[in-house]
Amino acid sequence: MKIKIIALGKIKETFLKAGIDEFLKRLRPYASVEIIELQPVEIRDDNIVRKALDEEAEKILGQIKKDSYIITLEIKGKQLSSEEFAFKIDEIIKSGVSELVFVIGSSCGLSPKVSEKADFKLSISKMTFLHQFARLLLVEQIYRAFKILKGETYHK
């Protein structure tokens, strides 16, 4: 399974980079995971948020193949337990999809143009996190999902 994580912005904090890199390394036996970092559009005026999100949408959608399964991370998405998330990934793998794409928007969220393309909308938590933390939480949960599916001990 090829997994792509499309995220707006770069990770600046070394401790977050180290955590993400550690889980990417641990994921290698289970899946090919690629992180694509896109430059967010700078927003200097709240009146242009929608326009900026639409510009970001063009960048995001340009990175996604037509037959990919798309999961967007959204505040109003569905919350899943780790086990439910694992079973969702298993369901996607068994469906024959060759690429699973996760999309993490900018601090202003995602354009409806991206959200509409989502096959599934996921919420990590009702709490608000920095987008950089969301990326770390996501790669850890993807790793945990594969461990659950393989019946390995990491999850407990």
Superfamily (CATH H level) for 2-155 = SPOUT methyltransferase, trefoil knot domain (3.40.1280.10)
* pLDDT beneath 70, residues of the chain: 44-47, 155-156
9 three-class SS: coil
Backbone angles phi, psi at 46, to 5 degrees: -60, -20
Sketch the domain layout of the chain as residue ranges.
2-155
- Residue 33: the pLDDT is 97
Q: Which residues contact 156 (CB under 8 A, 6 or more apart)?
A: none
- Residue 106: the pLDDT is 85
For residue 155, how far is the Cα from the chain centroid? 20
Task: For residue 19, give the nearest of 119, 143, 151, 129 by alpha carbon.
Answer: 143
Whether 83 contacts 148, CB under 8 Å: yes
- Residue 156: the pLDDT is 65
- 106 DSSP 8-state letter: B
